[in-house]
A and B are shown apart, each in its own frame.
Chain A
Amino acid sequence: MAELTYREAVARGIAQEMARDENVVFLGEDVAKAGGVFKATVGLLEQFGPKRVLDTPISEQAILGAAMGAAMTGLRPIAEIMFADFIAVCYDYIANEFPKTRYMTNGQITMPLVVRCGNGGGARFGAQHSQSVENWCMQFPGLKVVAPSSPVDVVGLLAAAVRDPNPVVFLEHKSLYATKGEVPEGEIVDQLGIAKILRPGRDATILALGMMVSRALQAAQTLQSEHGIDCEVIDVRSLVPLDTQCILGSVARTGRVFTVEENPRQLGWGAELVSIIADESFYDLDGPLVRITTPNIPLPAADALEDLAIPSVSRIVDTIRRALSA
Chain B
Amino acid sequence: MNVLMPQLGETVAEGTITKWYKAVGDSVAAGELLFDIETDKTAMEVPSMAAGVLREIRAQSGQTVAVGAVVAVLAQSGAASAAETAPRAPEKTPAPAATAEVSPARPPPTGTAGQQSPSAASPPVSPGTGRAIDPYHGLRTPEKNFGKAMLPNGARITPLARRLAAQTGIDLATLHGSGPRGRIVAADVRQARPAGGAVNASAPLASPEASFDQIKSLYTGTPYRELPVDGLRKTIARRLSEAKQQIPHFYLSSDLDVEALLRLRKEINETGANRVSVNDMLVKAYALALREVPEANVVWAGDRLLQLAHADIGVAVAIPGGLITPIVRQADTQSLSNLASELAGLIARARERKLQPSEYTGGSASVSNLGMYGVRSFQAIVNPPQATILAVGAAERRPVEAPDGTLRATTMLSVSLSVDHRAVDGATAGKLLAALRTLVEHPLRILL
On A, residues with C-beta under 8 Å from B are: 141, 190-191, 194, 196-198, 200-202, 232, 240-242, 244-253, 255, 276, 279-287, 323, 325-326
Contacts and interface: CB of A to CB of B under 8 A. Distances in A.
B180 to A, nearest CB: 5
Given A240-B136, A244-B130, A252-B103, A286 B185 contact: yes
Q: Among A250, A276, A284, which residue has the most Cβ atoms of chain B within 10 A?
A: A284
A279 B411 CA distance: 66
Contacts of A283: 125, 142, 146, 159-160, 162-163
Q: Among B127, B135, B142, which residue has the most Cβ atoms of chain A within 10 A?
A: B135
A28 B161 CA distance: 54
B140 interface: yes
B408 interface: no
24 contacts: A194-B89, A194-B92, A197-B93, A197-B94, A201-B99, A202-B102, A232-B99, A242-B135, A242-B136, A246-B130, A249-B131, A251-B126, A252-B103, A252-B128, A252-B130, A253-B102, A281-B126, A282-B142, A282-B159, A283-B142, A283-B160, A284-B126, A286-B158, A286-B159
Nearest to A279: B139
Contacts of B95: 200
B88 interface: yes
A248 B131 contact: yes
B160 A255 contact: yes
Interface string B121-147: 000011111111111100111100010
Interface of B: 88-89, 91-96, 98-100, 102-103, 106, 125-136, 139-142, 146, 158-163, 179-181, 183, 185-186
Nearest to B158: A286
B99 A200 contact: yes
Contacts of B88: 194
A279 B142 CA distance: 7
Nearest to B181: A326
A280 B89 contact: no
Contacts of A285: 158-160
A240 B98 CA distance: 29
A252 B126 contact: yes
B352 to A, nearest CB: 41
Contact of A249 (B102, B128, B159, B183): B128
B353 to A, nearest CB: 36
A197 B161 CA distance: 25
B95 to A, nearest CB: 6
Given A253-B99, A282-B142, A244 B131 contact: yes
A131 to B, nearest CB: 23
B129 to A, nearest CB: 5
Nearest to A202: B102
Contacts of A282: 141-142, 159
B143 to A, nearest CB: 11
A182 to B, nearest CB: 12
Contact of B139 (A240, A252, A280): A280
B185 to A, nearest CB: 5
B132 A244 contact: yes
A284 B131 CA distance: 13
B373 to A, nearest CB: 51
A244 B133 contact: yes
A200 B125 contact: no
A241 B179 CA distance: 35
Contacts of A190: 89, 91
Contacts of A246: 92, 94, 130
Contacts of B179: 286-287
A323 B132 CA distance: 29
Nearest to A195: B92
A94 to B, nearest CB: 17
